[in-house]
Amino acid sequence: MYTFSNKLKTFSIILMVLGVLGVGYGFMTSHKSFEEVETLLAEEAHHGGGHGEEAEHAAPSHDAHATDSHGEGHAEEAHAEVDEHKKHVEHVQHQIANRPWAALYVAAFFFMMIALGILAFYAIQIASQAGWSPVLFRVMEGMTSYVLPGALIVLGIAVASGTIGHYNLFIWMDPEVVEHDKLIKGKSGFLNLPWFVIRGLIFIAGWSFYRYISRKYSTAQDEAGDNKNFKKLFRWSAGFLVFFIYTESMMSWDWIMSVDPHWFSTLFGWYVFASMFVSGITVLALLTIYLKSRGYLEFVNENHLHDVAKYMFAFSIFWTYLWFSQFMLIWYSNIPEEVTYFVSRFQDYQLPFIGMVVLNFVFPILMLMNADYKRIPWFVVMTGLVILFGHYIDIFNMIMPATVGDRWFIGIPEISSILLFAGLFIFIVFTALTKAPLLVKRYPFKKESEEFHY
């Protein structure tokens, strides 16, 4: 049995407290008045650093004031420009207000997708009757315990941003926007708040139900006299995988793609899936190495680590394949209604957008190609941390351009959101790990897995 060490418990609580403080700070400082934003923009225009666009907007409107007396035509122009200036300031004001919401949402989704990714991985291991992984099942089950709270939090933030907040994540939740936007209006049969919530709850219910039932049969199999529980677990896992691939796609449309309600991509669901799968497997590797270093997993050897690292390697490449396929098809045909998605990312997010390809592809492919390196724990840990950071940036790149635009930064709101959910993740996962022995007992492939050798 695993005991949650007091040190780790305190550590996770400290993370959560720091996170809550930082998130609170983010929300406190994000509500700027119109005048504040106006002076902020004027200052930026004055400094002229980087924000050339603002400078252009601010300058003519001041000129317009000066030329007010020159006749009606000029006056009208001036009004139009003042109007534009007002719109621009309001736009920036909204972006600044969105930042803590988006930061919170990105971090919440990131940790939820780790748990959800490993839930799919777990189901695949059982449905494919893998012989190497049963010694890691309890670690995976511990991780999947975060699916229910994590997903509820994500859905909660999404809904709260449209009810408590001022439509800070999903502009299609704003009835006024929908009223004036033909494209969103046409989609409102799918994108409307009640239906969004119902869909989300159905996804979460399905995933958590499988989590509950798999854990139940897995622990029941420990005490059973026959393999009935194993067979049930196998059937439920196969069924869940079918359910999962549908709901995961729809979840990615709902929870991520709809932040850009004018844009769509057909392989988006797979792309998000690749991201969650590889992050989940990476965290599995990190947790396994941690627990083994504490002496809780003597039955796990470097061959198991090698297999997990191979999955990290292969799915990093799979992620890159989907990322590139999505990008290249849109870049190549260059259809305006699709390509704006990447134009905004290329202009305002160049470093994170290109950087994540280095973090998620170039780095793992070079580090994990060698078979010997995949067996060295500290090597897998270092690479794993880079991969996780890269996939955080991936989610960041999906959400941020639609919510905060060029007002992005990885500062206090972002980092403290990560701390908050990292603390929560550690707390929930390690608490779940204490609930059952770390080695399955009567699982049919247990012996094979213990003696697994590559």
Partner 1 sequence: MEASKVIHAIYTDDDVLMSAVKKVKAEKHHIEEIYTPFPVHGLDKAMGLAPTRIAITAFMYGLVGLTVAILMMNFIMIEDWPQNIGGKPSFSYIENMPAFVPIMFELTVFFAAHLMVITFYLRSRMWPFKKAENPDPRTTDDHFLMEIAVHGNEKELESLLAETGAVEINLVDKAH
Residue (264 or 454) nearer to partner 1, CB: 454
Count other C-beta atoms under 10 Å from residue 402's C-beta.
22
We find the least distance from the C-beta atom of residue 132 to partner 1, in angstroms, to be 16
Residues numbered 369-388 forming contacts with partner 1, rule: CB under 8 A: 369, 371
Min CB(369)–partner 1 separation in Å: 7
Interface segment toward partner 1; rule CB under 8 A; list 13-21, 219-227, 270-278, 326-334 = 326-334
Stretch that binds partner 1, among 40-48, 225-233, 325-333, 397-405 (CB under 8 A): 325-333
Question: 246 vs 324, which CB is nearer to partner 1?
Answer: 324
Q: By CB under 8 A, which span of 17-25, 180-188, 321-329, 411-419 interacts with partner 1?
A: 321-329
Distances (CA, A) of 101 to 45, 133, 156, 197: 27, 38, 12, 18
Tokens of 205: 């219910």
What secondary structure letter does DSSP report for 253?
A: I
Among 328, 335, 382, 385, binds partner 1 (CB under 8 A): 328
CA distance 432 to 32: 42
Tell me if 121 sits within 8 A of 280, measured CB to CB. yes
Say which amino acid occupies 209. F
332 binds partner 1 per the rule CB under 8 A: yes
- CB burial string 418-437: b at 16+ within 10 A, e below: bbbbbbbbbbbbbebbeebe
Determine the interface stretch with partner 1 among 26-34, 115-123, 307-315, 320-328 (rule: CB under 8 A). Answer: 320-328
Over its C-alpha atoms, the chain yields an Rg (Å, rounded) of 25
Residue 390 CB-density burial (10 A; 0-12 exposed, 13-18 middle, 19+ buried)? buried
Our CB check for partner 1 shows the closer of 7 and 453 to be 453
Cα–Cα distance between 158 and 451 in angstroms, integer?
46
Considering only 25, 212, 253, 331, the residue that binds partner 1 (CB under 8 A) is: 331
Run of H or E residues at 224: none
The residue from 129, 324, 362, 437 that contacts partner 1 (CB under 8 A) is: 324
Which range in 9-17, 20-28, 276-284, 329-337 contacts partner 1 by CB under 8 A? 329-337
What is the spatial distance between Cα 141 and Cα 134, in angstroms, rounded to a whole number? Answer: 11
Helices 72-127 and 6-29: crossing angle in degrees, nearest 10, is 160
Minimum distance of partner 1 from residue 331's CB (angstroms): 5
Task: Tell me if 10 contacts partner 1 by CB under 8 A.
Answer: no
Instruction: For partner 1, give the closer residue by CB, 244 or 342.
Output: 342
Does the footprint of partner 1 cover residue 336 (CB under 8 A)? no
Query: Which residue's CB is nearer to partner 1, number 325 or number 340?
Result: 325
265 with 120: CB under 8 angstroms?
no
By the 8 A CB rule, do 138 and 440 touch?
Answer: yes
Interface of this chain with partner 1, residues 261 to 280, rule: CB under 8 A:
none
Q: How far is the CB of 314 from partner 1 (least distance, A)?
A: 15
**Interface with partner 1 by CB under 8 A: which residues?**
324, 327-328, 331-332, 334, 369, 371
